[in-house]
Amino acid sequence: MSSILRDNRRAGNALVRRMVSLPRNIIGGFSRAMGHGRDLMGIGGRRNQHVPSNYQLQHPEEHISTTVPEEWAFLTSFEDQYGSNHPFFYACQFMEALKIAEDDQKFMFVYLHAPEHPFTPSFCRDTLCSELVVQFLDANFVCWGALANREEGLQMATIMRPASFPFCAVIAPAPGDSIAVLQQMEGPISPAELVEILQRTMEEQGLAFGSARAKQEEKIRADRRLREEQDAAYLASLQIDKEKERFKNLLSGERVQKPVEAPSNKPNYDKLRNSQKQYVQVKEGAIAKETQHKEVANRGTNPQATQILIRFPNGERREQSFASTDKVQSIYRYIDSLGLPGIGNYRLISSFPRKVYGVDQMGMTLKDSGLHPRASLFLEAM
């Protein structure tokens, strides 16, 4: 029996990447909730004070009162049986939680609760409520839970098609009416295994999603700068044409009226030369910016490039591309060049497993230090 569970766990916890289309009633539920003015956005539960006292039920889960808003049904059922020490689940509709995750630039952790399943009690008590899992999920994910046999929980179970319970998934927003399922876990799992899987998903998929978002934003900014510089070059060109025409007309008039005084137009000629010089400089700057933009766009296709995502103590994230042969010291130089306020002495670390990249590792290449092709590092003040 244990060997079968291990085999199922390996199959269920394999890293997946698939797109799932959301039903219209889930998508439409978000607009209806906003239209009715429900003040549930950003509200969640963990401690009893978050749940109104009239929601504390004295009956089994199947007899939950219909007066309890559907958004609180899962938390009410869960806390009645397992207490209030659990990850912070947002008590809102699925699309609202997805919007929060998108705004916070985090992945969404989805848990479908099946109270009657034999594996559910041990998973909830020993794994989901363990301090390790609670802290990790609260720090890195937007958590949303639902009863697998009610309303949105049932609809999500229908489209996610879990083979077994307990069922958890890591979700990311996707274009249109779809979501990206980056990881799903089915069946019993220990706290350490769950955190390891979630950490690996964040590192492998998070950099891909963050890199795509960063590249898109950089492309938009580069295109905007390029258009502004091209517009400036165009206006400078128009000004030069006007100056040429005016100078030509001025010279023609002077030849007819006072041909001897033609040298007096030297200031106009100097002004024209200065305008031409300015135009050349603006145009060369625009060409250089366009070349730089193309280099940035092509950087991601270089197999020798190493993508490093750096997380700062204030929550800011920066991503930079290095050559795999660059030294760890190059990352420190990049951070120092940013000139961010409040950064004194620091060191770079990776978590799960924790590894410090300090003075002893400065001379190692990114490839030899295990950071190639992509890695996520945290800046830790010293």
Q: How big is the CA angle at 173 (ends 106 and 221), to the nearest 5 degrees?
A: 80
Instruction: Name residues whose C-beta falls within 8 Å of residue 166's C-beta, 6 or more positions apart in sequence.
Output: 111, 112, 113, 114, 117, 119, 120, 123, 124, 128, 185, 186, 187, 188, 189
Which residues lie across from 168 on neighbouring strands? 111, 185
Amino acid letter, 318: R
How far CA 56 is from CA of 60, 61, 67, 84, 182, in Å, comes to 11, 11, 12, 12, 35
Per-residue pLDDT of the chain in tens (382 residues, 90 and over written 9): 333 333 344 434 444 467 777 777 676 654 433 333 334 333 455 433 333 333 343 344 444 444 557 778 899 889 999 998 999 999 888 999 999 988 888 999 999 999 999 999 999 999 999 999 999 999 999 999 999 988 888 999 988 889 999 999 999 988 778 888 999 999 999 999 999 999 998 888 765 565 555 556 666 777 777 778 887 877 887 888 888 888 778 777 666 565 544 444 555 556 656 666 666 565 666 665 555 555 555 555 577 889 998 888 777 888 999 999 999 999 999 998 888 887 888 889 886 567 889 888 899 999 998 888 888 888 887 7
Give dist(CA 35, CA 350) in Å, integer. Answer: 44
* pLDDT of res. 111: 96
- In contact, 262 and 255? CB cutoff 8 Å: yes
Please give the pLDDT value at position 47: 39
Q: Give the span between the Cα atoms of 16 and 183, in whole angstroms.
A: 5
pLDDT value of position 137: 94
The token duo for 26 is: 């889930």
Joined together, the tokens standing for residue 183 give 């990881």
90 contact partners, CB below 8 Å, separation of at least 6: 42, 43, 44, 96, 97, 100, 142, 143, 144
Distance from the first to the final alpha carbon of the chain: 49
Q: Which two tokens stand for residue 15?
A: 């890293």
Q: Retrieve residue 16's tokens.
A: 């997946």
Q: How far is CA 250 from the centre of its chain?
A: 61
Residue 87: predicted pLDDT: 94
Q: Which tokens sit at 303?
A: 């197999």
Can you give the length of the chain in residues? 382
Provide the pLDDT for residue 4: 32
In the chain, which residue ranges form alpha helices assigned H by DSSP?
2-12, 24-35, 70-82, 94-104, 120-122, 131-140, 151-160, 191-201, 207-257, 266-299, 328-338
Spatial contact of 289 and 228, defined as CB atoms under 8 Å apart: no
Q: Bridge-partner residues for 321, per DSSP?
A: 307
Enter the tokens of residue 153: 């929980």
What's the confidence (pLDDT) of residue 16? 46
Predicted local confidence at residue 206, as pLDDT: 66
Q: What is the pLDDT of residue 301?
A: 58
Question: What pLDDT score was predicted for residue 121?
Answer: 95
